[in-house]
Structure 1
Amino acid sequence: MKQNIIQFVAVLVVTIVVATGFTYKKQVDLSHYKIADDSDLFFYVPNEDEIILSKEEISPYSLFLGKSYVGFKEALGFKESRGNYSTINTFGYLGKYQFARTTLQMIGVYNPDLFLADSELQEKAFSAYTSRNKWILRKDIKRYVGRNIGGVKITESGILAAAHLAGAGNVKKYLRSGGAIAFSDAFGTSIKHYLRKFSGYDTSHIIPNRKAKVLL
C-alpha cells in the first residue's frame, strides 16, 4: 500500500511538471542594469514569413548604388572624408566633400559653422559646384570623353571628380596637354587618379550652369 502511494505521488509530480513546464517564466531582476536616458527599449524580431519573402515581395531598393549619380556622390564623399559631414582637415577644407571656404563663398555659402552642421546644405553645395564645373568643362567633356590619356579612359564623371579635386582650370590644362600638365593636391592625389577612380558613373542628368548657387 505504501509503495502504491509513493508511485501515485511520483506520477502526480511528473504530470504537474510536464503540464506547467512550457508556461513557466523565470523572473529576472533587472534592477542592477542601467538603461541610458530612461528610454524604453523596443525589440522586433521578424517571423518566418517576413524573413522568407517570395520573389514578388522582395523590395526593389538596394544598398548597392553601382554607377548611379548617388553612387558617384557617395564614392567621392567617402574618398574625400570617409563620408563625414562634420570634418575639417588639416588644411581647413570642410565637410563630407572637403570644400574650401572660398569655393563655398563662390556658390553662396558664407557661414562655415552652419555648413558643417547641415548635411542637406552640403549636398546642395556639391550639386551646385558640380553644375558649375560641368558648364566650365562642357567643351572638354564633348571633346575628350572616350579618349585615352595617360592610359586612362576619359569619362564625364571622371572629369567632374577631377574638377572637384583640382579645379576645372587644372583639369582643362591636363586634358588639353595630353596629361603633360599634371596636378596633385597637398596629399599627393592626382588628376589622373581621380579620372580613373571615378570613371563610368552616370552624371548625365547634371545640368551645366555657369552661375549655379546654393538656394538656402
Structure 2
Amino acid sequence: MTKNSIKKFLLPFAICLLVAMGLYPDSTLNTELYSTEGLELDYNISAELAMADFSKESKSNIFSPHLGKSFEGFKEALAFKESRGNYFTVNTLGYLGKYQFGSETLKLIGIYNPNQFLYNPELQEKAFIANAARNKWILRKDIKRFDGKFIAGVKVTESGILAAAHLAGPGSVKKFLRSYGGNNVADAYGSTLKYYMKKFSGYDTSIIKPNKKAKARL
C-alpha cells in the first residue's frame, strides 16, 4: 500500500477522532441548536444577596425538631426544667436523673436501687411514664372536675396537673385545686404548684392511662 493510500485510509478516522474531541468542525452538526444568542449571560449578583442566599440555605439544613404541645414535648420540657435533660445528675437534695426522682417515689413504682436507676436512661423513661400513670389515677376525679377552669389566674389543664404532681406529689395538687389556689406549696428551690401548672399547661397527655398499680419495668 502506497503512502498516499495510507493517508486516504487513515484520514476519515482522524477526522472522526477530532470531531469527537471537539477539535474539528463537523458540518453535520446544527450549531444553531446550541446557540447562546438571546440568552442573559450576565449573572453578577451583589455580595449581600449572595450571603443572604447562603445564610438561608445554611439555616434550612439545621436540624431543629419541633415537639410543640405533644407528649414528647411535655416530657422534654419538664425534663429540661428539672435537670436540663441530664440523665446522670443528682441535685443537692439527692433527687436523681433526668426527671429528678426522689427515692421514696421510686419505691412506689417498683424501683429500689437508686444507683441502678441513675445509670439507666431507659429505666428513667419507664419511671416517668409509670409515675405519671399513677398520679393520673389518683387525680382522675380532680382532672375531670377542674380541667378547663381558672384557679388563681391559671387555666387548669391535665398536663399542668400532672406536672405539678411530679413536682410535689398528687396529694399536694389535690389541696391546691380544692382550695382554689389557697394551698400553693413550693419545693426547696422555690418552684410552686401554680408555676408548674401554668408553665406546663396545654400539652397532650392523653397517651398516659390512669393506673393505680403502675410500675417501671424494663
Give your verdict on TM over 0.5.
yes
Which of residues 140, 146, 154 in structure 1 aligns to 2:156?
154
- Alpha-carbon separation, structure 2, partners of 1:210 and 1:103: 14
More displaced, 128-137 or 106-115? 106-115
- The two structures have a TM-score, normalised by structure 2, of 0.71
Residue 92 (structure 1) aligns with: 94
- Alpha-carbon separation, structure 1, partners of 2:97 and 2:170: 20
- 1:153 Cα deviation after fit: 0.4
- Alpha-carbon separation, structure 1, partners of 2:217 and 2:121: 14
AA at the equivalent of 1:203: T
Which of residues 68, 77, 80 in structure 2 aligns to 1:78?
80
AA at the equivalent of 2:121: S
Q: Secondary structure at the match of 2:93?
A: coil
Give yes or no for the alignment of 1:187 onto 2:189: yes
- 1:157 Cα deviation after fit: 0.2
- The two structures have a TM-score, normalised by structure 1, of 0.71
- Alpha-carbon separation, structure 1, partners of 2:174 and 2:192: 14
- 1:114 Cα deviation after fit: 1.0
- Alpha-carbon separation, structure 2, partners of 1:98 and 1:205: 22
Q: Secondary structure at the match of 2:134?
A: helix
Residue 123 (structure 2) aligns with: 121
**Structure 1 unaligned residues grouped into runs of 5+:** 1-51, 53-57
AA at the equivalent of 2:82: E
- 1:62 Cα deviation after fit: 6.2
Instruction: State the aligned residue count.
Output: 159
1:42-92 deviation per Cα after TM superposition (whole angstroms, max 9, x unaligned) = xxxxxxxxxx8xxxxx9xx96110000000000000000000100000000
AA at the equivalent of 1:157: S
CA-based RMSD: 1.6
Larger radius of gyration: 2
Residue 46 (structure 1) aligns with: none
- 1:110 Cα deviation after fit: 1.1
| Identity over aligned pairs, percent | 66
Q: Secondary structure at the match of 1:103?
A: helix
Residue 168 (structure 2) aligns with: 166
1:71-118 deviation per Cα after TM superposition (whole angstroms, max 9, x unaligned) = 000000000000010000000000000000011111111111111111
Runs of 4+, deviation exceeding 2 Å: none
